[in-house]
Amino acid sequence: MFTGLVADLGTVAEVAATADGVRLTLTTELAGELREGDSVAVNGVCLTAGAIDGGAFSADVMNETLARSSLGLIAAGTRVNLELALRASDRLGGHIMQGHVDGVGAVVGVREDGFARVVTIAAGPEILRYVVHKGSISVDGVSLTVARIDDDGFDVSLIPETLEHTNLGEATTARRVNLEVDVLAKYVEKLLAR
């Protein structure tokens, strides 16, 4: 489980692709806190840490994950949001996230709003059905509040802290982002359908 509070901006050092999937090697200050087998969110996708070497770790990304997330588009040199799994003693400062991406959206607008930056993200109806105004959503692993929603997408407003410490500060139009909706909404929907 994760909270969407990014712990470090890592860098993709290597992307080794085969027919079986991709092995990512990522450099990060968090590598020293990882052990093989630990869960780590990479742009909101829960991956398992493999080999750890100094300030880097590797993670295997299966074809299913590549198809359902933006990790299939990732290249060496890309900066990624990283978060270690939540410990039972940690504060829940963001919202409950599983690292199970529900879909991919596209940044379609970026505008300044005082010290904040508003990012507009287009998403399909399979995502938007769970998105509510002032509700929580994860964008590339960052816990955010929905500022506006319509039939085509939603807005999030990024404060200076988020702009500086996550890769969303680099977001430009056409960028693909991983989206994870609030898992509670999916449970409520399933219960009410019965």
61: CATH: 2.40.30.20
Do 113 and 179 sit in the same domain of this protein? yes
Do 108 and 188 sit in the same domain of this protein? yes
pLDDT digits (tens, 9 = 90+) for 73-119: 999 999 999 999 998 888 888 888 999 999 999 999 999 999 999 99
Range of the domain at 20: 8-84
**pTM for this predicted structure:** 0.94
Residue 21 lies in a domain: yes
For all residues of the chain together, what is the average pLDDT?
95
Do 107 and 80 sit in the same domain of this protein? no
The pLDDT score that the predictor gives to residue 89 is 86
pLDDT digits (tens, 9 = 90+) for 179-189: 999 998 889 88
Do 79 and 114 sit in the same domain of this protein? no
Say if CB 52 and CB 29 are below 8 A apart: no
Residue 91 lies in a domain: no
Say if CB 19 and CB 108 are below 8 A apart: no
The CA-atom distances, in angstroms, between 147 and each of 7, 95, 133, 158, 169 are 24, 16, 6, 10, 17
Can you tell me whether residue 97 is helix, strand or coil? strand
Do 129 and 174 sit in the same domain of this protein? yes
Helices (H) and strands (E) in the chain, counts: 4, 12
Rounded CA-CA distance 68/181 in Å is 14
Q: Is the pLDDT assigned to residue 148 strictly greater than 90? A: yes
Do 133 and 70 sit in the same domain of this protein? no
The pLDDT score that the predictor gives to residue 94 is 85
Count of domains for the chain: 2
The pLDDT score that the predictor gives to residue 91 is 84
Do 189 and 108 sit in the same domain of this protein? yes
The CA-atom distances, in angstroms, between 148 and each of 104, 118, 120, 188 are 18, 10, 9, 22
Residue 2 lies in a domain: no
The pLDDT score that the predictor gives to residue 88 is 83
